[in-house]
Amino acid sequence: MKRAAGYLTFLLVLGGLAWSLDALFPLPAPPRYSPLVLAADGSVLHAFLNPTQKWRMKTELREITPALRTTIIEKEDRYFYYHFGINPLALVQAAGRNVFGAGRTTGASTITMQVARLLEPKERTIGNKLLEMARALQLEAHYSKAEILQLYLNLVPYGGNIEGVKSAALLYFQQPPDYLSLAQTVTLAIIPNRPRGLVLGRNNEAIRAERNRWLRRFGQQGLFAQQDIDDALLEPLDARRHAAPTLAPHLARRLVQQFPGQAIVASTLQRSKQAKAEDLTRNYVRRLHALGISNAAVLVLNNRTRAVEAYVGSADFRDILNKGQNDGVRAVRSPGSTLKPFLYALALDKGLVTPKLLLPDVPTNFGGYRPENFDKHCQGEVPLDRALAYSLNIPAVRVLSDLGVPTFTAKLRAAGFQTVAQRSAHLGLSTILGGCGATLEELSNMYVTLANGGRYAPLRWTNHQQPVPGNVLFSTASAFLITDILAQLTRPDLPVGYETSIRLPKVAWKTGTSYGRRDAWSIGYNKEYTIGVWVGNFSGQGSPALTGSDVATPLLFDLFNAVAYNSPNNWFQPPASLDFRLVCAETGRPPGEHCPNQIIDYFLPGVSSSLRCQHQKEVLLSADAQYAYCRACAPAAGYRRELYPNLLPDVAAFKEAQGIPYRRLPPHNPGCQLVSGGREKAPSITSPAANTEYVLNKGEQQQLLLSCATDNEVRQVSWYINDQFLRTAAATERVFFRPPAGTLKISCADDHGRNTDIRIVVNEL
C-alpha cells in the first residue's frame, strides 16, 4: 500500500512538473501560412506569399493521401504511430553509429522531432537536440498523430522560399497533393532531405534516379502494388517551377482582407467560368483601346443560390498604367439608366402604371429640372413598355415624380445601395438617370432580384455562407412584367432574334450610359444566371464611343454565350397574380365611353388603376363651330355636340411646336361671363426654368425665351415681367425678350383669367 502511494505521489509530482514546464515554455506559435483562395470545387484560384515572403500553403488533412502518408512515414519514421515523439531504440542505434563510426552518422530524429526543429530552427548541437526532444514530447501531448504529420508536411523545405508539400505540388506539378501520381508523390518525399542538392527543374535527372531507387525499395517492401511501381518507374520527370495561381485577383484580395489570418478561404467562384470571363474581358478591352476605353468589370451570379461564380474587377490586374488594381465591381459609378426597371416595377406595384399605359414624352420642366432623352428627341406619348425598352428619360422622370423620390430611394436602401443610403436626403429626380452612385455589385444583385420574382437577398461570396430567405422588394407580377419587356429587345449578336439558335440562351437585359459617357453598363439575366458588365476608364475620362448598347452589350452576350451555351432555356411564366384586360389603344387605360380601338394589356387585379379612359371629351359648339360653350353659357338650343382630343397641356404644346396636326378646340364663347379662377389648368411656364440663375453676356444683347403649355381651350396668353405687361402672344408662340439684371418675376395669364408666376435671377458679365 505504501509503495502504491509512493508511486502515485511520484506520478503526481511528475505530472505537476510537466504541467508547470508546459505552462512556462509554451509551444511556438503555429506556422504562418500563405493565404489561399479556393474555387467552389476546392482547387486553388489564387495564392499569396505568407508574411515572411514564403510559399507555405496549408496542406489539409483530406489532401494527405494514403500514398503520401505511407511514403513519408516509411522514409522518415516508420515507427511514427508507435512512439511518443522520441524513438528510444533509434536513439541507441544512432548513438552507437555516431560513437563507433559504424554506418552513416544520424540524429535519429522522428517526424515529431523534425516538426519541433522546423518550428524553432536552431543550430545543431547536443543541447539543442535535447530541447528538440522535449518539444517533441510536448507536441505529442498537444496534437494527434494526424495533426503532427500535417504540420510536418506543411513545414518541410523544398528549396528557395518553398515550404510544404502543397506548395511544392502546386508550384512544380500544378496539382494539389491529392492529385499527384505515385511517382510525383515519391519525388516530393525525397527532396526535403537534400533541398539544395535536389532542385526540381535543375537536377531532374538526379532526382529521377533517386526517385526510382526509392520506388524499387518500396516495391521490395510490398508497400505498393508491383504494377503501380512499374508504371511509376516509367513515368518521366519533367518538373519545373511555375507561377503561383493568380485567378480572380480582385476577389482574392477582397476575401483575404475580409478574413485576416485565415489560411484558406473557400469562395463560390467556378474555376472554368472565372478563367473564361477573365479571358473574354481582357481580349475585348484590348480591342477598345483605340476608342479611348481601357477597362471593364464583370460579375457572373447564380440566380438560384445567389453565389458569385465569376468576378473580374478589371481587364488586367497588372496594368498599372490603366489602374488595373482598382476593383470595378465595387467602384461607385453613375448607374445611368440601369435603375429604370426597378422604378417601373415599383410603379406597377403601386398601381400607377401598366405596360400599355401611355406616358408623355415631351419637353417638361419638373420644378426647374428639364431632362432630355439620350437622342435629344421626343415622341409625344409612348406606352410604358416602349419607354422602358428604349430607355426614354423623360417618361421615367415623370413616373418618379408621380411615385416620389423618397419611396424609390427607400427601395434602393433596402437592396443594400450604400451610396444611396448615405445621400438619400440630397437625391432628386435625376436619381433615375444616374444622379446617384451605385456599384456593379449592387446593380447586378437587383437584377437577380427580378430573376427571383422580386425577392432580394445578399450575394454569397464564400462556401460557408448559407443562403438567406431575404425580403420581398417587388411582387412576382411586376418582376415578370419587367422581365417580359426587357426580353423583347433585339439581341445585337442576333438581329433576327435568339430563336435562330436553340443553343444560345434567351436573355432579358438593360443598358445604361452615364452623363458625359464615362460609364457604359449592360446587365442581363435569364432563369439561371445574371451577368453584369461595366465598361469605362478608372480615371473617369469619357469617350464618344462609350455607350451601354454599343460597348458593354457585346461583351455581355459573349459572356452569356460562353457561360450558358446550350442551356435548357427555361423561361419565366406569368404568375397567377397577373391577368389580362382590354384597354384603350389611345391611352392604355380601361375603355371609356368613346374608345373604339382597344388592345389587350396585363394588369394586377386589385392594384392597377381602374380609372376609365378620357382621351376624348364632349364639347358643346356653336352651330357654325366657331365657338365652344361651357355648361354655364350654352344656349337653350342651336348648339351641337362633338368629341375633341383631351390632351395634356404639355402634349398639346409639343404637337404645336412640332407641327403635328391634331384637332384643336375653337375659342371659348367670348360672351361667357364666367371667369375661371382655378389654377388646376393654369398655364405652365416651360421657359425659363423656375428658380434658376441665368448668366448673360452684357456685350452680346442676349435674350431669354418665354414659352408655356396651356389647356386646349386657350388661344392666347399675356406675359408680364415684374408685374409690367410685356406683350400678348398665341398660346404656342415662342416669345423672346431682353431681361434686366436682378431678380425677375415672370407671369403668364391665359384668356380664361388663369395665371402662373415664377422667379428667376439674371446676372450680367
What gap in Å lies between CA 248 and CA 493, rounded to an integer?
A: 28
Q: Please choose, from the candidates 564, 462, 528, 441, the residue with its C-alpha nearest in 3D space to the C-alpha of residue 40.
A: 462
Residue 551 C-alpha cell reads as: 460597348
Query: Phi and psi for 587 in degrees, rounded to 5?
Result: -130, -20
Which residue reads 527543374 in cell numbers? 201
Catalytic residue check, 718: no
CA dihedral 737, 741, 744, 746 (to 10 degrees): 0
- 78 touches 196 (CB < 8 A): no
- 259 touches 32 (CB < 8 A): no
Q: Please choose, from the candidates 657, 629, 651, 659, the residue with its C-alpha nearest in 3D space to the C-alpha of residue 641.
A: 629
Query: Phi and psi for 713 in degrees, rounded to 5?
Result: -80, -15
- 141 touches 25 (CB < 8 A): no
Peptide bond into 192 cis (omega under 30): no
Q: Tell me how crowded residue 313 is: count the other CB atoms within 10 A of its CB.
A: 28
What single-letter amino acid sits at 227?
Q
What gap in Å lies between CA 178 and CA 181, rounded to an integer?
A: 9
- 706 touches 684 (CB < 8 A): no
The SS3 assignment for 525 reads strand
What gap in Å lies between CA 157 and CA 167, rounded to an integer?
A: 10
Catalytic residue check, 693: no
What gap in Å lies between CA 373 and CA 519, rounded to an integer?
A: 17
123: left (phi over 0), alpha (psi -120 to 50) or beta: beta
What gap in Å lies between CA 728 and CA 114, rounded to an integer?
A: 102
Q: Please choose, from the candidates 67, 68, 189, the residue with its C-alpha nearest in 3D space to the C-alpha of residue 200.
A: 189
The SS3 assignment for 364 reads coil
In DSSP terms, 761 is beta-bridged to: 693, 743
Burial of 400 (0-12, 13-18, 19+ CB in 10 A): buried
- 597 touches 585 (CB < 8 A): yes
What gap in Å lies between CA 400 and CA 377, rounded to an integer?
A: 20
In DSSP terms, 704 is beta-bridged to: 737
> Which listed residue (34, 63, 76, 543) is catalytic?
76
> Which listed residue (34, 109, 294, 337) is catalytic?
337
CA dihedral 370, 373, 378, 380 (to 10 degrees): -70
Residue 379 C-alpha cell reads as: 415622341
The SS3 assignment for 34 reads coil
In DSSP terms, 621 is beta-bridged to: 628, 640
What gap in Å lies between CA 577 and CA 605, rounded to an integer?
A: 7
Residue 637 C-alpha cell reads as: 338650343
Length of the chain, please?
A: 765
Residue 326 DSSP symbol: S
What gap in Å lies between CA 476 and CA 547, rounded to an integer?
A: 31
CA 347 vs. chain centroid, Å, equals: 24
Residues 6+ apart with CB under 8 A from 228: 182
- 259 touches 191 (CB < 8 A): no
Residues belonging to the active site = 76, 337
